[in-house]
Amino acid sequence: MAPFARRFRALLLLQASLVAGAIYDLTFAVLMVAAPGLPSRLLGLPLPREAFFLWIMATLLAMLASLYLLAARDPRRYSGVIAVAIGGRLTGAFAFALAAAREPGLARGLLPLAACDLVLGAAPAALWAPIRK
């Protein structure tokens, strides 16, 4: 495959990975406000006593999803967002895994979240590298 075609395919896949991250975050944001019990039951994770904390997290996730969509639309212009997204996702994966190790009773819910963050961080990292050259 020609270098141009390889870079173009990497760009399309990078954009798709960013859109996937946006959908993931926006889905959780909506569920945190509209149906917080659903992810809590599915993941076996406790809800905070005050809904306010979920609303703040939902707001931040929606903002993050919007930034992911900006970066997906114009990766060169918003390359800083991509770098922060990669670092944030990989750090999030580590944080979820560490929390699961410290609280084994919550591991059933935290480890899938860690895996999702790992994939949503590693994919853009791997796809962005050949484009940046």
In this prediction, residue 1 carries a pLDDT of: 66
What contacts 72, CB < 8 A, 6 or more positions away?
14, 15, 16, 18, 19, 22
3-state class of 36 per DSSP? Answer: coil
* Interval 30-72: pLDDT, tens: 999 999 999 999 999 999 999 999 999 999 999 999 999 999 9
Residues found in the chain? 133
